[in-house]
Amino acid sequence: MNTKHSLSSIGKLFLLTGLLVSLSSPAGAQEKKDAIPVREQVGAQALPPEIAPITAPFDMPQLARPQFGDYSLSITETGAKEGKMATRAIQRAIDRVSARQGGGTVIVPAGVWNTGRIELKSNVNLHLEEGAELHFSGNIKDYQPAVFTRNEGVELYSLGALIYANGQRNIALTGKGKLVGPSQDCEIQKRQMKGGVIETYINADTPVKERVYDGKRGKPVFLPMFVSPTNCRNVLIEGVTLESTPFWNVVPVYCDSVIIRGITVHSVGIPRGDGIDIESTRNVLIEYSTLSCGDDCFTMKAGRCEDGLRVNKPSENIVVRHCLAEKGHGGITCGSETAGMIRNLYVHDCVFDGTGTGLRFKTRRNRGGGGENLTYERIRMRLTGQPFVWDMLGSKTFVGDLAVRLPARDITPLTPTYKNITARDIIVESGSQFIKAQGIPETPVENVWIENVTAKTDKLMLFQDVDGFVLKNVTIECPDPLIKMVDGRHIKFDQVHFTLPEGKVRIEQEGELCKEPEFIRCLMRDL
């Protein structure tokens, strides 16, 4: 099917049939609009002292801060001196406090402290006082020996993270201090793996213990993350500021019960400088954090390709609330590593101010898993890109011919899906294309519900390989009237108010599976 046609002044038709909706806002719409937060109400600067009860449209535990003993120990008491490498002194303090019954707090006082990798231990709160700065080395030797980690969704042994933990319980990184990563021209950056996706270097059949990239004898390394608790339980990261990360910033991997609140991230200009990446981790609260990033801001991941399927751990039961995304590729992003499945995500009362895309759903034909039961409410967006993006094919640069849309492939365990997604009570102050939904022919985007949205964008919508998409009570102003559908079906516009040139929607359809969209009580107005 290849058709092009215009839908002109359908309001007149509805008037004749008694179906024309009022130009005034539906009852309660203004109250919902007023409830959507503004910038001053979210992010680290608005952090309250206490954690409010957690609500979610799924079963979610009430997370609480881990508790620590009254004992405290300053790193100066174990030998740390400004101007000298303090790694051993900091680690001695952590080890000593962890060994005590009930643990306690390791204090990093005001000052600039130079360090290599720090390993958090059970029952320790590493607390950076106001004015404290931990400056991390860019030398590979300061992060040896290699430790178990996950890099872009694949298990291996390499530098791990600047602040690392594995198999620990009851740990925290808190305070008003700052973490500063190494410069972008350091040895670690110069010796990183380059030239392809991670599958280029690691065969899925290679045992994990043989995947060692420790940088010895001049060999390359995988970039370390900034803060990455791995296989940990009861984790708190609160208040700190992170700058100049080598790679992703805050990355819980295989963790349970994680609270991230009141943190500030600056990584603009750093390739792959994600803000927060939740990796196959469950029961997570992220709140009142401000991220300005070189890549995606708040990101959910669950393993990559065959290795992610082997591990098969989801990211689930995640609440993101009262957060601010500034610069970044995406405000809230799922994927593209989706093998273990991303599910039960609830994002509410957030602001994206100057971000690229708003709600971003990424995966690829070889990534597996996908995302489901994802809910977004009360979000304000001022964007340079699209408010709603589904990008499931990717580019040939990274996945070769798998990025070629047709022919449809056989469905395998590596075929991902995105389905059961709800977004409501959203204001889009600016953006490029309102919806850009590109699914996979064999697994189209399914069952999306977008409701109570007011938007101003440069373009309207693209639905490619989409099956089941409802827009209800949406008001959109746009100078481009095109809705393009490529094998799009079961798409419904219910009480959608369009303000367009000449009050007309122009629809282009192609593909044998394409079906006419349904318009119910909609209204067209001249721009």
**Sign of the C-alpha dihedral, residues 451, 283, 56, 293?**
negative
Strand pairing class (315-321; 225-230)? unpaired
Percentage of the chain modeled with pLDDT above 90: 91
Answer whether 0.75 is exceeded by the pTM.
Answer: yes
pLDDT score, position 195: 76
Strand runs labelled E in 276-430: 276-279, 282-287, 290-292, 298-301, 315-321, 324-325, 330-334, 342-355, 357-362, 370-383, 388-391, 417-430
Asked if residue 485 has pLDDT above 60, the reply is yes
Ordered by where they begin, the domains of the chain are 66-239 (2.160.20.10)
Going by the DSSP 8-state scheme, the letter that residue 210 receives in this structure is: G
pLDDT, the chain, mean: 94
Q: For residue 29, name the pLDDT band (cuts at 50, 70, 90).
A: low
Percentage of the chain modeled with pLDDT above 70: 94
Going by the DSSP 8-state scheme, the letter that residue 269 receives in this structure is: T
The predicted model gives 316-344 an average pLDDT of 98
**CA atoms within 13 A of residue 359's CA, in its CB half-sphere:** 28
DSSP string, 424-485: EEEEEEE-SEEEEEE-BTTB-EEEEEEEEEEEE-SEEEEEEEEEEEEEEEEEEE-S--EEEE
Q: Which of 478, 480, 505 is nearest to 493 (CA)?
A: 505
The CA distance from 346 to 294, in Å, is 24
Going by the DSSP 8-state scheme, the letter that residue 367 receives in this structure is: T
The CA distance from 129 to 118, in Å, is 17
Identify residue 243 by its one-letter amino acid code: E
Asked if residue 21 has pLDDT above 90, the reply is no
Q: For residue 346, name the pLDDT band (cuts at 50, 70, 90).
A: very high
DSSP string, 127-193: EE-TTEEEEE---GGGGPSPEEEEETTEEEEE--EEEEEES-EEEEEEES-EEE---TTSHHHHTB-
pLDDT score, position 196: 79
